[in-house]
Chain A
Amino acid sequence: MQNADREINKEKISVAEMAKQILEQGRADRLMGWKRGEFFYDNSPAVFENLSELDDFVYDLFCGSNLSKFLVKESRKDGKIAVLLKPCDRYSFNQLVKEHRIIKDNVLPVEIDCDGMLDIDKIRALGIKGIKKITVDGDQLQIDTVYGPKTCAREDVLLMKCLTCKDRVGGDRFELVKEIEAMSSVERYEFWRSELSKCIRCNACRNVCPACTCEKCVFDNDKSGIANKANTDSFEESLYHMIRAFHVAGRCTDCGECTRVCPQNIPLHLINRKIIKDLNEFYGEYQAGEDDFSKGPLTRFDLDDVEPDIVMERGGNK
Chain B
Amino acid sequence: MSAQILTVKMENIGNLFKAIAADQKLYLPLEQAGQVQFLPYDPADDSQKVRLDVLNTVRSAKDLFFPQSENMVAFKKQGKKIDIIENREKVEAFTVFGVRACDARSFDILDRVFLSEPVDVSYAERRARGTVVTLACNEPEETCFCETFGIDAAKPDGDITTWIADGLLWWQANTNKGVKLTDKLLSVDAGLFVDSTGEAKALEEQQEKIREIISQLPLHGLSLEYFHKEELKTIFNSPKWQELSEACIGCGTCTFVCPTCQCYDIRDYDTGNGVQRYRCWDSCMYSDFVMMAHGNPRTSQVERFRQRFMHKLVYYPANNEGIFSCVGCGRCLAKCPSSMNIVKVAKTIGGEANV
Q: Which residues of A contact B (CB under 8 A)?
A: 35, 37-39, 41-47, 65, 69-70, 120, 124, 129-132, 145-147, 194-195, 197-198, 200-204, 206-208, 220, 228-232, 257, 260-261, 263-266
Using CB atoms, name the residue of chain A closest to B143: A39
CB distance from B68 to the nearest CB of A (A): 5
Known: A42-B339, A46-B247, A203-B251. Is A220-B35 also a contact (CB below 8 A)? no
Contacts of B143 in A (CB 8 A): 39
Name the CB-closest residue of B to A195.
B33
Whether the pair B339, A47 counts as a contact (CB closer than 8 A) is no
Q: Contacts A37-B339, A220-B288; is A264 near B58 (CB within 8 Å)?
A: yes
SS class of chain B's interface: helix, strand, loop or mixed? loop
Q: Is the CB of A132 within 8 A of B338?
A: no
B217 in the interface (beta carbon within 8 A): yes
B139 x A45 contact (CB < 8 A): no
CA distance A155 to B33 in the complex (A): 23
Assess the B139–A129 pair: CB atoms within 8 A.
yes
Provide a sorted-by-A list of 10 A–B residue pairs whose CB atoms are within 8 angstroms.
Answer: A42-B339, A130-B139, A147-B139, A194-B33, A202-B252, A207-B249, A208-B251, A228-B267, A229-B286, A230-B68
* 8 Å CB contact of B246 from A41, A45, A198: A45
Binds A, one of B226-234, B277-285, B307-315: B277-285
Q: Are B217 and A229 in contact (CB under 8 A)?
A: no
Given contacts A202-B257, A207-B250, 16 further A-B pairs with CB under 8 A are A39-B142, A42-B333, A129-B55, A129-B139, A129-B142, A146-B216, A146-B217, A198-B33, A206-B251, A229-B282, A230-B68, A230-B281, A232-B69, A232-B278, A263-B253, A263-B256
Q: Evaluate whether A263 and B335 lie within 8 angstroms (CB atoms) in the complex, with A229-B280, A229-B281, A232-B278 already known.
A: yes
Q: How far is the CB of A161 from chain B (nearest CB, A)?
A: 14
**Residue from A38, A70, A194 in contact with B344 in the complex, judged by beta carbons closer than 8 Å:** A38
**B55: nearest residue on chain A (CB-CB)?**
A129
Q: Whole-angstrom distance between the alpha carbons of A247 and B140 in the complex?
A: 41
Nearest 5 A/B pairs, CB to CB: A230-B280, A42-B339, A261-B337, A204-B251, A207-B251
Decide: B141 and A44 in contact? CB cutoff 8 A.
Answer: no
Question: Once the chains are docked, how many angstroms separate the CA of A186 from the CA of B94?
Answer: 32
- Given the complex of chains A and B, what is the CA–CA distance between A197 and B30 in angstroms? 14
Inter-chain contact A220/B213, CB cutoff 8 Å: no
Q: A138 vs B347: C-alpha distance in the bound complex, in angstroms?
A: 34
Complex: how many Å from CA A289 to CA B282? 34
Whether B68 lies near A202 (C-beta < 8 A) is no
Instruction: Name the B residues within 8 Å of A229 (CB-CB).
Output: 265, 267, 280-282, 286
Which of A42, A43, A124 has most chain B Cβ within 10 Å? Answer: A42
- Assess whether A146 is in contact with B340, with CB atoms less than 8 Å apart: no
Q: Mark B177-208, 1 if CB is under 8 A from A, else 0.
A: 00000000000000000000000000000000
Q: Which residues of chain A have C-beta atoms less than 8 A from B256's C-beta?
A: 200-202, 263
User: Which A residue's beta carbon lies closest to that of B280?
Assistant: A230
C-alpha gap A202/B341 in the complex (Å): 16
CB distance from A144 to the nearest CB of B (A): 11
Q: Annotate B325-354 by CB proximity to A: 1 below 8 A, 0 otherwise.
A: 000000001110111110110010000000
Residues of A within 8 A of B58 (CB): 198, 200, 263-264
Selected from B32, B68, B282, B338, the residue in CB contact (under 8 A) with A44 is B338
